[in-house]
Structure 1
Amino acid sequence: MPFQHSMPESPTLPLPPPPAAAVSAAAAAGRPPPVTSMERTVRTLDRQISQFVAMDRLIWADSADADAFLEAVDDLIGTVQELEAAGTNRGLFDRAEELLSRCMARLEEEFRALIERPDDAVPAAPGGFRSDGSDDEEDFGGGDGYGDEPIPIAKPVTDYDVVIDALSPGSVANVHQIARRMVDAGFGRECAEVYAAARRGFVDESVARLGVRPRTAEEVHASSWEELEFDIARWIPAFNMVFRILIPSERRLCDRVFDGLAPFGDLAFVAAVRTQALQLISFGDAISSSSRAPERLFRVVDMYEAVRDLLPDLDPVFADPYSAALRAEVTAVCNTLGSSIKGIFMELENLIRRDPARVAAQGGGIHPITRYVMNYLRAACGSRQTLEEVMEGDFGAVGGAAAAVDPDRPTSSLAVHIAWIMDVLHKNLDIKSKIYRDPSLACVFLMNNGKYIIQKVNDSELGVLLGDEWIKQMTNRVRRWSMDYQRVTWGKVTTVLQTGGPGVGGLPATAMKQKLRMFNTYFQEIYEVQSEWVIADEQLRVDVRAAVAEAVMPVYTALISRLKSSPEARHDLYIKYTPEDVEACIQHLFEGAAK
């Protein structure tokens, strides 16, 4: 039932004494002192408001009561302002102020209840996820509305183009009416605090539903990378949900509740969302300041991209001076994540330099550090645009890498950095090649690793970054190592096989027999050893075998032919390998375990 003014009166405030002259006149006549119109107004308002304040139910449970209470509040605010402007009756002003304080306390209770328990007040359509920002009715999260829960909770979504309408239009209108009275009465800051406290529960529970838990920097630094990967996998969608849906929805609701009541709406909004926003930001900061092991690059890039892509959308949400600090915090964590990415690349360089040179790849094959670095860089190029952006931010931090590379190479910061890493890898491999006591095996090792590097560069965006000139230089290096192998391994063999030169009639049979014995020894040693070596790339293996055959077969065939045509000795006693045997052995070189 609506509130009836015929309800029993509650005790009223004592009225202040009238002016001295009126009191004297009234006393002489035997009458009580006269009551002014302002005093009568305060007494009437006290009687009306005290009954509302004493109610044991929500005033807004009945719309007629709510309208009557707001009308009384408006009258009281006007009366207080008149008394303050007049400044002639301090006692009456103090009593009106005290009544206004009790009135505001009850408004705070109603305000909080309308936000936290809207179904306890005037019936209102349940809010929900909205794709167009409209006020059409829709179940919150697809259930029976949020009346079954004390606080409606935002559920995880994948479509960020939505708005959470946590309060119905009717509830928003009610709380706006209360907020306007509290601001008019000079209680705007208190109203903002009550609003923030009420909405903070919704925000906290919503973030908790996303599976993100608070983590201190110490906890993050002490966690294993496997644990952190799991946390990051939850953090990224939670970060998007909070900053793309939850916080913008809170801004929209706050703007509607405090429409025309700046700056209190801005204060309320920041206070409502700050804690959870900073919690998410602090996790990004902790990851940025933790270990910069190379394997962390890809997850940190994911975090950086999530924050970077969000920044433009935050401008309208954090446009006021009070929330600008939050916007700056998001920008700062984006920068720290970017710095972490650059630091991870620097750590990759250090990892290559620190890789011990004591262990060589078996059979001169591809070294694990070569496989790791090339596959790592190849995968990193999947985020090339992001890495270009990060490296362009402050490339000078890499310690002079730009000045160390060939000026003909591509000149983007990422390209220069990748080229620098490749130079570090090359120097590391050169050091590792010196572990091999056999210079021939060192050449095979460098050929294998160089060819593998070229393959990985050609098969990815590394080729675009490093450029044709770099690939050409690397190819020339592999060719030079192949030539060094031919000279070191087969140079003495081909020298032994020489049977004469221009103007020379030929060698005596005994000399040819000696050469053949030396060849048999050299060739057997080379074959037994180098058939165990490996050239991983099939085409490179074919090319090296062909070069060996081209150098050995003509002179060996010529020697055998000379020896067979000589009448001085039986050649079959000295020919251990026929030319066909030598050719077959050469074709079995470098097969390693597959032999």
Structure 2
Amino acid sequence: MPTKGMRSPWFSSKASSSYIAKSSSPSRFAFSPSPTSFSESVIDRTLELAGPMIQKWNPESSTFAKVTSLFHENRGEAKDFIKCVSNLQKAMQLHVAENPTSEKLVLAQNLMQIAMKRLQKEFYQILSTNRAHLDPESVSVRSSRTSVQSTSSDDEEDLDEVQKAGDSIAEVEDVSSLAMADLRLIAECMISSGYAKECVTIYKIIRKSIIDEGIYRLGVEKLSSSHVRKMDWEVLDMRIKNWLDAVKIAAKTLFNGERILSDHVFAASDSIRESCFTDISKEGASILFGFPENVIRNSKKSLEKVFRLLDMYTAIATHWPEIESIFSFESTLLVRSQAITSLVKIGEDVRTELAEFESVIQKENSKSTVAGGNVHHLTIDSMNYLSLLADYSNVLSNILANSPPPKQTSSPELYSGLSDSDDSPVPTISRLFAFLIHLLLANLDGKAKLYKDVSLSYQFQANNLQYVVVKVRTSNLKYLLGDDWLSKQEVKVRQFAANYVQLAWGHVIKSLPEDPAVDLSPKEAKECFKRFNSSLEQAHRKQSVCVIPDSKLREDVKVDIARKILPVYREFHNKHRVIMGSERNFESVVRFTPEDVEHYLSESFLGAVVGSGSSSSSTSTSSHTRASRFSKILF
């Protein structure tokens, strides 16, 4: 590449000025006939052709040249101007080897300086007046780095044909294409003439302001550690949401478009396009990709933060191919390293948060029982938390890939139902969720023992395990734990419910004869009716506080009780109520018809259902609201 050697001290600006002053008209560029060398004839001819064109657009020679844009006024003439400058440069290179002290070189250098000032002015005007058409979004939409680098200045004629066919393209895209082509023409001309520094300086100043403005508009700014520490979670959460949107836009358009533009404009020099893009983008990219690390290091402790951490991890991991491609230069290694560091820090913090969650489940030791054996708040909040985590199972799998497996326990049923064979080993993420649910159920077993009424403790276990089952079945936990695991838990729910029915309603069932069709004396029948009446009322009164929030479990329990009581009582009632008709206090003895008993049962288990104790009621609550409530309850 030619250097600024053409601007070396042996080109005296004073000499060139006096020489050019003697030339009062374009004809003075013709020299008197004399024996000349080939290089001298070339530079004579070049000066004769290039001189008038360059002087015409000398900003200091006329008001027209000062206020008019060459490329805007006449693109055809602009290309001729570029060719004149290119030919002048070649002629100077040819002649300097033969006669380095030639006055013609001084004149040529003077013309070259005038031309470079013109092109410098044009370069600045195109960049500044086309900011809207050269914004990264417009550039990234219409271009690709592969396509723009494949076009060279030698293909300008082909580019013209493309631009002519561009009448059907949107106006903005057409203007953007023309501006990029013009910038590239000027940049290549200035670089080959040894004026790269002037060109690059203008480019960096204007384009860096666009990147910095873009980052600011995306709501990303450099925050101090103390600033982050003082932020309420709601404010920081909003910042993270803005950042998540910013990463997507930055990777797809802002930095991508800027890389495309710099690659295109400075395609003639790998070192220059790298330098330009790096200096323009490095500061903004470092702020953007350093944000997660700042949040992790300085934000307040909160279990709900894990979801935003996983969102940030997903954002960087999803766009990593673009980040790696855009910032592929050696000089942008710091940007790639910052993105990787943020991923590592997020992974570490997520593992810390999961360990904290595990600790919270184990240490929750409230001693008060839940009214009616309802679903415990620990069950609700823990399962909401786990179901939300399951939505990030792929991300969590990556984060936990190199982590030790969940702690082993003495329970043989910890991973019961999970497939575990040489052909299908249980993934670490599935073991993690099975382990955390196991901890939850172990804690609930301890809370069940707090009930003085053993039947209610079984109902408490049935309610809570049913909530777990429903939450697993209706979330991504189902795919992590599998149908076999669910089936085993459902069997346990039925066992708990059956134990409840046996303990709470068994005395009602036993109050009736084993064979309702057996003949009884009026006295025996009367005693049997009385026993049944007393047992039913006692059971109904005692179990009226029992709550079964899940509709399916509630119906299953009712059906089980009714199946064991109603057929026997109906047959007994229909057979013996006739012989009781002669009793003076018949109504006090035969107090319940089979329909009355059925009605009693239909009204059971509908006690005051605790807020979100219903399996269905919690599903409408927003994910982060639930996580927030969990955090507030357990800390």
TM-score normalised by the shorter chain: which range applies? 0.5 to 0.7
Distance in structure 2 (CA, Å) of the matches to 1:265 and 1:422: 55
Where 2:219 maps in the other structure, the secondary structure is: coil
- Does residue 416 (structure 1) correspond to residue 431 (structure 2)? The answer is yes
Q: 1:302 aligns with which of 308, 311, 319?
A: 311
Q: Which residue of 2 aligns with 1:21?
A: none
Asked if the contact 2:128–2:206 (Cα under 8 Å) also holds between the matched residues in 1, the reply is: no
Q: Which residue of 2 aligns with 1:24?
A: none
- Does residue 591 (structure 1) correspond to residue 606 (structure 2)? The answer is yes
Q: 2:551 aligns with which of 538, 541, 545?
A: 538
Q: 1:480 aligns with which of 489, 495, 504?
A: 495
How far did residue 528 of structure 1 move?
1.4
How far did residue 491 of structure 1 move?
4.2
Distance in structure 2 (CA, Å) of the matches to 1:59 and 1:256: 28
Asked if the contact 1:357–1:431 (Cα under 8 Å) also holds between the matched residues in 2, the reply is: no
The one-letter code matched in structure 1 to 2:316 is V
Change (3 A) 1:110 1:358: farther
How far did residue 328 of structure 1 move?
2.8
Asked if the contact 1:457–1:463 (Cα under 8 Å) also holds between the matched residues in 2, the reply is: yes
Q: Which residue of 2 aligns with 1:462?
A: 477
How far did residue 321 of structure 1 move?
1.9
Distance in structure 2 (CA, Å) of the matches to 1:166 and 1:285: 41
Q: TM-score, normalised by structure 1?
A: 0.67
- Does residue 370 (structure 1) correspond to residue 379 (structure 2)? The answer is yes
Q: 1:174 aligns with which of 186, 192, 199?
A: 186
Where 1:220 maps in the other structure, the secondary structure is: helix
- Does residue 527 (structure 1) correspond to residue 535 (structure 2)? The answer is no
Distance in structure 2 (CA, Å) of the matches to 1:81 and 1:226: 72
Q: 2:209 aligns with which of 201, 213, 226?
A: 201
Change (3 A) 1:11 1:108: closer
More RCO (CA 8 Å, sep 6+): 2
Asked if the contact 1:270–1:322 (Cα under 8 Å) also holds between the matched residues in 2, the reply is: yes
Asked if the contact 1:124–1:170 (Cα under 8 Å) also holds between the matched residues in 2, the reply is: no
The one-letter code matched in structure 2 to 1:413 is T
Where 1:535 maps in the other structure, the secondary structure is: coil
Asked if the contact 2:293–2:346 (Cα under 8 Å) also holds between the matched residues in 1, the reply is: yes
Q: 1:225 aligns with which of 230, 233, 245?
A: 233
Q: Which residue of 1 aligns with 2:255?
A: 247
Asked if the contact 1:59–1:66 (Cα under 8 Å) also holds between the matched residues in 2, the reply is: no
- Does residue 450 (structure 1) correspond to residue 465 (structure 2)? The answer is yes
Q: Which residue of 2 aligns with 1:325?
A: 334
Q: Which residue of 2 aligns with 1:548?
A: 561
How far did residue 204 of structure 1 move?
0.8
How far did residue 449 of structure 1 move?
1.7
Residues 80-103 of structure 1 deviation map (CA, whole Å, 9 limit, x = unaligned): 9999xx9xxxxx9xxxxxxx9x99
The one-letter code matched in structure 2 to 1:201 is S
Change (3 A) 1:195 1:109: farther
Distance in structure 2 (CA, Å) of the matches to 1:473 and 1:205: 58
Q: Which residue of 1 aligns with 2:243?
A: 235
Asked if the contact 1:409–1:467 (Cα under 8 Å) also holds between the matched residues in 2, the reply is: yes
Distance in structure 1 (CA, Å) of the matches to 2:590 and 2:320: 78
Asked if the contact 2:373–2:457 (Cα under 8 Å) also holds between the matched residues in 1, the reply is: yes
Q: Which residue of 2 aligns with 1:5?
A: none
Where 2:326 maps in the other structure, the secondary structure is: coil
The one-letter code matched in structure 2 to 1:590 is F
The one-letter code matched in structure 1 to 2:183 is S
- Does residue 440 (structure 1) correspond to residue 451 (structure 2)? The answer is no
Asked if the contact 1:115–1:199 (Cα under 8 Å) also holds between the matched residues in 2, the reply is: no
Q: Using the TM superposition, name which of 435-444 and 583-592 deviates more.
A: 583-592
Q: Which residue of 2 aligns with 1:313?
A: 322
Distance in structure 1 (CA, Å) of the matches to 2:59 and 2:97: 21
Distance in structure 1 (CA, Å) of the matches to 2:465 and 2:440: 10
Where 2:603 maps in the other structure, the secondary structure is: coil
1:56-205 alignment runs, 5 A limit: 116-118=124-126, 127=134, 129-130=138-139, 131-133=141-143, 136=163, 167-182=179-194, 195-205=203-213
Distance in structure 1 (CA, Å) of the matches to 2:276 and 2:494: 71
Q: Which residue of 2 aligns with 1:18?
A: none
- Does residue 278 (structure 1) correspond to residue 292 (structure 2)? The answer is no
Where 2:331 maps in the other structure, the secondary structure is: coil
Distance in structure 2 (CA, Å) of the matches to 1:528 and 1:144: 79
How far did residue 485 of structure 1 move?
1.5
Distance in structure 2 (CA, Å) of the matches to 1:302 and 1:463: 22
Distance in structure 1 (CA, Å) of the matches to 2:121 and 2:364: 65
Asked if the contact 1:454–1:475 (Cα under 8 Å) also holds between the matched residues in 2, the reply is: yes
Change (3 A) 1:554 1:260: closer
Change (3 A) 1:300 1:517: same
In structure 1, stretches of 5+ residues that fail to align are: 1-8, 14-47, 87-91, 93-99, 147-163
How far did residue 470 of structure 1 move?
1.3
How far did residue 69 of structure 1 move?
8.2
Q: Which residue of 2 aligns with 1:352?
A: 361
Asked if the contact 1:116–1:199 (Cα under 8 Å) also holds between the matched residues in 2, the reply is: no
Residues 431-470 of structure 1 deviation map (CA, whole Å, 9 limit, x = unaligned): 3323333222221111112222222322333222212221
Change (3 A) 1:536 1:293: same
Distance in structure 2 (CA, Å) of the matches to 1:144 and 1:245: 15
The one-letter code matched in structure 1 to 2:280 is A
Change (3 A) 1:176 1:526: same
The one-letter code matched in structure 1 to 2:343 is C
Distance in structure 2 (CA, Å) of the matches to 1:80 and 1:432: 96
The Cα RMSD (Å) is 5.4
Distance in structure 2 (CA, Å) of the matches to 1:337 and 1:285: 7
Distance in structure 1 (CA, Å) of the matches to 2:554 and 2:495: 15
Q: Using the TM superposition, name which of 403-412 and 448-457 deviates more.
A: 403-412
Change (3 A) 1:209 1:593: closer
Q: Using the TM superposition, name which of 416-425 and 549-558 deviates more.
A: 549-558
How far did residue 277 of structure 1 move?
0.4
Q: Which residue of 1 aligns with 2:589?
A: 575
How far did residue 284 of structure 1 move?
2.4
How far did residue 283 of structure 1 move?
1.5
Distance in structure 1 (CA, Å) of the matches to 2:547 and 2:391: 31
Where 2:279 maps in the other structure, the secondary structure is: helix
Where 1:117 maps in the other structure, the secondary structure is: helix
Distance in structure 2 (CA, Å) of the matches to 1:459 and 1:280: 37
Distance in structure 1 (CA, Å) of the matches to 2:218 and 2:289: 15
Distance in structure 2 (CA, Å) of the matches to 1:358 and 1:325: 54
Asked if the contact 1:284–1:303 (Cα under 8 Å) also holds between the matched residues in 2, the reply is: yes
The one-letter code matched in structure 2 to 1:544 is V
Asked if the contact 1:366–1:452 (Cα under 8 Å) also holds between the matched residues in 2, the reply is: yes
Q: 2:441 aligns with which of 419, 426, 443?
A: 426
Count of aligned residue pairs for this structure pair: 512
Q: Using the TM superposition, name which of 102-111 and 232-241 deviates more.
A: 102-111
How far did residue 276 of structure 1 move?
0.6
Asked if the contact 2:529–2:589 (Cα under 8 Å) also holds between the matched residues in 1, the reply is: yes
Residues 192-228 of structure 1 deviation map (CA, whole Å, 9 limit, x = unaligned): 6664344211211222233333333443343233223
Distance in structure 2 (CA, Å) of the matches to 1:371 and 1:526: 29
Asked if the contact 2:448–2:461 (Cα under 8 Å) also holds between the matched residues in 1, the reply is: yes
